[in-house]
């Protein structure tokens, strides 16, 4: 990528009812994220932080971003390597914890992609394809915690 690319979005919050005291326990965490092109996401905080678990939250969006980026980069690497992928799924997990700085943040993410190939012989290339995808994933290159890829071989 020779030039910088700018991505833009907007966050909309419906506000707070003046009939209710505004404090940590009462403010509504529901928002709507909107992006150029029309994509939108209803968001909140996780339930353990007084949010709504039926909506995306910063933590699930971070995990989803890493899974989606690895998928897209893996597919690009496979296609450029002449490997035909017939299926792909991922089961990721992220750990939020206390960092060395004393601040709370992600301390680790593990991705567990499962990939199917048109030619079973291409399974021998799986580790190399994942390594190249991980090394080139924009999102994993942007975070300050380890992202581990543990391919599901089952």
pLDDT of residue 29: 96
Model pTM score? 0.92
pLDDT of residue 67: 98
CB burial string 25-44: b at 16+ within 10 A, e below: eeeeeebeeeeeeeeeeebb
pLDDT of residue 125: 95
Q: Which domains does the chain show, CATH number per domain? A: 9-49 (no CATH), 58-149 (3.30.300.20)
Joined tokens for residue 70: 């690895």
- In this prediction, the residues of the chain whose per-residue pLDDT falls under 70 are 1-2, 154
pLDDT of residue 153: 81
Task: Determine the Cα–Cα distance for residues 78 and 92; give it in Å rounded to an integer.
Answer: 21
The answer for residues whose C-beta is within 8 angstroms of residue 115's C-beta and 6 or more apart is 74, 85, 87, 88, 126, 129, 151
Residues 61, 45 contacting (CB under 8 angstroms)? no
pLDDT of residue 1: 62
Outline where DSSP puts E strands in the chain: 9-13, 31-35, 40-43, 85-89, 93-98, 104-111, 114-117, 147-149
Task: Determine the Cα–Cα distance for residues 12 and 153; give it in Å rounded to an integer.
Answer: 42
From the CA atom positions of the chain, what is the Rg in Å?
19
Task: Determine the Cα–Cα distance for residues 73 and 144; give it in Å rounded to an integer.
Answer: 19
pLDDT of residue 154: 67
pLDDT of residue 139: 96
Chain centroid, CA 58 distance in Å? 9
């Amino acid at each position: 990528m020779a030039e910088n690319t700018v991505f833009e979005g907007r966050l909309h919050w419906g506000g707070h009812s003046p009939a209710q005291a505004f404090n940590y326990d009462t403010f509504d965490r529901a928002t709507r994220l909107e992006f150029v092109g029309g994509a939108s996401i209803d968001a909140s905080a996780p339930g353990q932080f007084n949010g709504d678990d039926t909506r995306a939250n910063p933590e699930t969006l971070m995990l989803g971003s890493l899974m989606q980026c690895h998928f897209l980069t893996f597919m690009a690497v496979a296609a450029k390597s002449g490997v035909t992928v017939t299926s792909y799924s991922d089961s990721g997990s992220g750990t939020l914890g206390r960092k060395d700085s004393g601040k709370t943040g992600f301390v680790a993410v593990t991705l567990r992609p499962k990939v199917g190939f048109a030619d079973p012989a291409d399974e021998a290339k799986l580790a190399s394809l994942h390594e190249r995808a991980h090394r080139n994933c924009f999102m994993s290159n942007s975070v300050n915690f380890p992202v581990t890829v543990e391919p599901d071989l089952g």
